[in-house]
Amino acid sequence: MNKQEAISKLKSEPLAVEPDQEFEVRRMLPEDAWGVARCFYAVYGEHYPFDTYYIPDKLIRENENGNVISVVARVGGGAVIGYGALYRSSAYFPGTYEIGQALVLPEYRHTFAALCMQDHLLELLDSIEDVHELFGEAVCNHVISQKLMVLAGLEETGLELGLMPAEAFNDLEFPGSRVSTLLGFRTVRDRAHDIYVPGEYAGALEFIVSGLDVSRNLLESRGYIHDSSTELVPQYIDHAHVARFNLNRAGEDLPQVHAGTEEEARNRKARVMQVFVNLGDPGSGRAVELLRGRGYFFGGFLPRWFDTDGLLMQKLDTLPHFESIKLTSDRARRILDLVREDIERNPACRYLLGK
């Protein structure tokens, strides 16, 4: 079954679920996968950007190979009224999973279904050895998802400015302003290691790392560049106009390699570019120096992004309204300050400030 065939079948089977039934939450079984597709179609129509959730066989395979760990909320008779997951997304290290993709049918949004699914996913962590680190991206146009992130034990580590297109949201306070997301991480299985800290961000990284339950030895990055070639892995999220690049290794050819990936991103109409710099690489300082000179600014700290840790550098075509960024904690507000301060002191970011 392909997406077109799945959508045709979904249109012929409209989902109607009586409200106020008792529900159970469990790990998804193969027989639940069509119910998940019906749930996604009921909430998103045919416009959810990832085909996997409309095609039962694909979702089952992704669970079998460990790329996705799915849970469902089911009422009597087997109808799926909610879905949530841990899944491998943008991190270079396969042991770092994102928690999200949660959706609940409108008839059950007044219940604790979303919270119950999140709790069930967290209960699974000890039994799933593949999961070493957990992260989430909480939207900042409201604070509900940030509160859920805190309940899941994730600590704030970064802020992705303007990550999500305004068109994906209704009733924004600042129409047309892209929506920012707060990054949070939770360590499941820590691994003590050294990280090489670019001097420009020593204070920022010391502040963020000191608030985490991790064992790290912070060393100064002295600008060593590998004799071997750069390893820069792109990921294009075209529907959101986002380009992401995992910089696992900075080599002497980094300026040329990065310029080529930026050109490809522009050709794909990316409005947000993110480079995740491997802090386990002694050349991280030189990489950050290059990126800052090309208009990138600080985004945050990413535990175990490469198995070693990562540093988010980001570049936008225009800034979102800072007043649109709603944050619940002093720590998150301090991270926003760190981001703004780096924009203001980087001469290559003057284009964002109208200077």
| Percentage of the chain lying above the pLDDT 90 cut | 85
Between CA 245 and CA 252, with CA 249 as vertex, the angle to 5 degrees is 105
Q: What would the mean pLDDT of 237-243 be, rounded to a whole number?
A: 95
Distance, in Å, from the CA atom of 258 to the CA atom of 251, rounded to the nearest integer, reads 11
Q: What is the pLDDT of residue 57?
A: 96
Give the amino acid at 89: S
Query: pLDDT tens, 88-106?
Result: 999 999 999 999 888 999 9
Q: Does residue 95 contact residue 191 with C-beta atoms inside 8 Å?
A: no
Label residue 224 by pLDDT band (50, 70, 90).
low
Q: What is the pLDDT of residue 347?
A: 96
pLDDT at 154 over 90: yes
Q: Which CATH superfamily is domain 193-200+210-319 in?
A: Gcn5-related N-acetyltransferase (GNAT) (3.40.630.30)
Label residue 327 by pLDDT band (50, 70, 90).
very high
Token pair of 212, please? 């985490």
Greater confidence (79 vs 102) lies with: 79
Token pair of 7, please? 């959508």
* Per-domain boundaries in the chain: 1-87+103-111, 193-200+210-319
pLDDT at 248 over 70: yes
Q: What is the pLDDT of residue 355?
A: 59
Helix (H, G, I), strand (E, B) or coil at 81: strand
Q: What is the pLDDT of residue 26?
A: 97
Query: pLDDT tens, 168-183?
Result: 777 788 888 899 999 9
Q: How many CB atoms lie within 10 A of CB 122?
A: 17
Exposed/middle/buried for 69, CB within 10 Å: 0-12, 13-18, 19+? buried
| Percentage of the chain lying above the pLDDT 70 cut | 99
Q: What is the pLDDT of residue 100?
A: 86
Q: What is the pLDDT of residue 174?
A: 82
**Considering the entire predicted model, what is its pTM?**
0.94
The average confidence (pLDDT) of the chain is 94
Lowest mean pLDDT among 14-23, 127-136, 171-180: 171-180
Distance, in Å, from the CA atom of 34 to the CA atom of 12, rounded to the nearest integer, reads 13
